[in-house]
Structure 1
Amino acid sequence: MTNAKPRPYTFLLTDRFTLLPFAGAIEAMRLANRAVGHRLYDWRLIGPDGDVATCSNGVRIALDGGLEDLPGPSRSDAVVIVCGGIDVQKAASKPVLNWLRKQERSGAMIGAVCTGAWVLAEAGMLDGRRATIHWENHDGFAEAFPQVDLYRSVFVNDGNRITAAGGTSSIDLMLHLIAQDHGDALVAEIADQMLHTTIRSDQDDQRLSIPTRIGVRHPRLAEVIARMESNLEEPISPAQLAADAGMSTRQLERLFRRYLNRSPKRYYMETRLARARNLLMQTQMSMIEVALASGFSSPSHFSKCYRARYGSTPYRERGTGSA
């Protein structure tokens, strides 16, 4: 795509947004401008307060204005990106949702990085659309917005809806968009400048592979753990896991003890409790709903296991809020 004027981006910075994905997106555009010697992209920063936005790490970013100060973009190639972070549910205020809907009506491409997809979903902008969100927020988002076709990829480009999962995924999304605008040669130059040695596509998964995450390269162990992670709501018995992997229950026990210093049962329990903790902190699901979604049929058993793992009851954990 060739434009006489720079393509305009507007970044909506929510309270306690995550700095890294925002900075990655901005830097990709800055380096694009630098590489060609003129401005391919312009950007402006806005927030509900209109003065300063504070990142989750405490860094303060000066804004160009508030929602009421800057009207919606008039150009058909304009892009609006919501930058989310901690407690993003609170960022989905009525003024923010109304402003986003106004941008949608103007014809702008609407996107989000990190947890900003939550705000778009609250505005109804992802209904029936493909999207992604940071893996830590995936389960809570899926429960809250079943109408969204949620993926675990680093980014998703669904026409005029774009979402990136957070971290460095915003770089990959921006390189993808810049390639569409100006070609792969420019993108290669930008990635080289950023020391971004592997440009990921929308087919790449957010998380490290299981062997890399657990620090063990054992195919059957990775296979069993993958089955566990895919069956948290209805746990599979160790005997069945072993049989499906072509080994005895005793062999499975030895495998987990040798490489992970815990039994398969304990590892599975820890994985289910981690999911429960994410749901507690990120959704308004009731305790029984969280328990059932994490494979516990009894709230009392869930509470007992949770306290043994985290040193606090689920009720108290939710009361502390996100950190």
Structure 2
Amino acid sequence: MNSNRFSSPIKHSTRLASKDIKVTDEKKKKALFVLLENFSMVSFTGAVDVLVTSNLITTSPVFDVETASVDGEKVVSDLGIEVAVNQRVDAVNIKDIDILVICGGLRTPLRDSPPIHKLIAKALEEEIWIGSLWNGTYFLAAAGMFDLAECATHPDSRDLIRERYPNTRIGNTSYTIENKSFTCVGPNSAIRVMQDLIEQLFGADMKRGVNGILNVDENRSVNSAFSSGVNYIPKNLEMIIELMENNLEEPLDITDFSDYTSLSRRQIERLFSKYVNTSPSRYYLELRLNKGRQLLRKTDYSISEVAIACGFTTQTHFSHSFKMVFGSSPTQFRQAGRDNS
């Protein structure tokens, strides 16, 4: 089997203390969030949570997060909570920053800020990622960033941006991401745009891994393991997945699923391809390996005992499959968990 052919999100469906995904770009990214007066706390923490969660599912941390304010002092959020920052805006060494995010909020004053304008200008010169939350888009528009590309901003700030910067193209979407810039209108879109940023920087597997952790509170059952945007699955497919989940120690054959659902092998394969973006065998394998990963983290079972509990006849087969999917051997995975505990 070609291990690169499929990309099911099942292997990222559980929060882990140790690291699983190997990233191709080993350079850690530093994100700087500039907090404006009355910034949206929920948008800010949602965006940061996406980046921090990425560090939980990688072989080594891929993001550092820092904060700044215009004067370097604490900033009061829209919730009335004071947040201390790492530095003042004019002290930022932009060459150390990979992602610059301007964080606004509903009551953030939209007025000229020379320190912020200067920082954005430096960021443009360095060609780093530049983004905004809520009406932080105002300051990016002031720099002329959206005379050609579209941006997103909260509806309350649209008229002011259009009046002061008439060349700005404001779209109708809740967020945008293109040409190393991103914008969003509020808390939910802040999370989504940062997830898309993860995909741009580190690939779809990383994004799915983060989604598998952060999206578990959505009102879905088995759907939460599926491709983004899928809100319905056929009853037959749901039945097959339930059979898989209940038979991990003694795996069933696809013919068993056919007998149970009266579907042909080909029909089952088409269902998985359409709704899960992988094959039945790959999906089943990752379910079993995901159980193994949990046992390695939470128990003192030997590797051979874990292998048997996941339906593998030999420890060698289990270890090979585990490394193929997660990028590290069971022994390495368990040791990484101990090192990070």
Moved more, 33-42 or 10-19: 33-42
Task: Indicate yes or no: 2:23 matched with 1:4.
Answer: no
1:74 CA drift (Å): 4.4
The partner residue of 1:46 within 63, 68, 75 is 68
* CA 91–6 in structure 1, closer or farther in 2 if over 3 Å, else same: farther
- Counterpart-to-counterpart distance in 1, 2:190 and 2:183: 8
What residue number does 2:79 align with? 57
Describe how 1:264-283 pairs up with structure 2 within 5 A.
none
- Counterpart-to-counterpart distance in 1, 2:109 and 2:26: 39
What residue number does 2:142 align with? 122
Task: Indicate yes or no: 2:50 matched with 1:28.
Answer: yes
Question: Does structure 2 retain, via aligned residues, the 8 Å contact 1:89–1:119?
Answer: no
The partner residue of 2:101 within 67, 81, 91 is 81
What residue number does 2:202 align with? 182
Q: Does the residue aligned with 2:144 lie in a helix, a strand or coil?
A: coil
Q: Does the residue aligned with 1:57 lie in a helix, a strand or coil?
A: coil
Question: Does structure 2 retain, via aligned residues, the 8 Å contact 1:81–1:113?
Answer: yes
The partner residue of 2:123 within 94, 98, 103 is 103
- Counterpart-to-counterpart distance in 2, 1:126 and 1:85: 20
Q: Percent identity?
A: 21
The partner residue of 2:113 within 72, 85, 93 is 93
What residue number does 2:161 align with? 141
The partner residue of 1:161 within 181, 191, 196 is 181
Q: Does the residue aligned with 1:15 lie in a helix, a strand or coil?
A: coil
- Counterpart-to-counterpart distance in 2, 1:9 and 1:93: 21
| TM-score normalised according to structure 1 size | 0.57
Moved more, 135-144 or 25-34: 135-144
Question: Does structure 2 retain, via aligned residues, the 8 Å contact 1:155–1:163?
Answer: yes
1:169 CA drift (Å): 0.5
Question: Does structure 2 retain, via aligned residues, the 8 Å contact 1:2–1:181?
Answer: no
1:101-124 Cα offsets, whole Å, 9 max, x none, are 122212222111110001111232
Q: Does the residue aligned with 2:192 lie in a helix, a strand or coil?
A: helix
Question: Does structure 2 retain, via aligned residues, the 8 Å contact 1:12–1:83?
Answer: yes
Task: Look up the equivalent residue of 2:82 and give its one-letter code.
Answer: R
Question: Does structure 1 retain, via aligned residues, the 8 Å contact 2:135–2:154?
Answer: yes
* CA 20–91 in structure 1, closer or farther in 2 if over 3 Å, else same: farther
Question: Does structure 1 retain, via aligned residues, the 8 Å contact 2:106–2:156?
Answer: no
Moved more, 145-154 or 110-119: 145-154
Task: Look up the equivalent residue of 1:38 and give its one-letter code.
Answer: S
- Counterpart-to-counterpart distance in 2, 1:105 and 1:134: 27
* CA 91–2 in structure 1, closer or farther in 2 if over 3 Å, else same: farther
Task: Indicate yes or no: 2:212 matched with 1:192.
Answer: yes
1:183 CA drift (Å): 2.5
Aligned residue-pair number: 199
What residue number does 1:14 align with? 36
1:51-78 Cα offsets, whole Å, 9 max, x none, are 2111011111110000132211346xx1
Task: Look up the equivalent residue of 1:16 and give its one-letter code.
Answer: N
- Counterpart-to-counterpart distance in 2, 1:119 and 1:88: 11
What residue number does 1:131 align with? 151
Q: Does the residue aligned with 1:44 lie in a helix, a strand or coil?
A: strand
Q: Does the residue aligned with 2:87 lie in a helix, a strand or coil?
A: coil
1:2 CA drift (Å): 2.9
* CA 32–160 in structure 1, closer or farther in 2 if over 3 Å, else same: same
1:135-154 Cα offsets, whole Å, 9 max, x none, are 33334433433211111212
* CA 58–91 in structure 1, closer or farther in 2 if over 3 Å, else same: farther
- Flag structure 1 segments of 5+ consecutive residues without an equivalent: 202-323
Task: Look up the equivalent residue of 1:173 and give its one-letter code.
Answer: V
1:17-60 Cα offsets, whole Å, 9 max, x none, are 11111111100011110112421111210011212111011111
- The runs of at least 4 aligned residues of structure 1 exceeding 6 Å deviation read 198-201
Question: Does structure 1 retain, via aligned residues, the 8 Å contact 2:106–2:134?
Answer: no
- Flag structure 2 segments of 5+ consecutive residues without an equivalent: 1-22, 219-223, 230-341
Question: Does structure 2 retain, via aligned residues, the 8 Å contact 1:131–1:158?
Answer: no
Whose RCO is larger (CA < 8 A, sep 6+)? 2
RMSD: 2.3
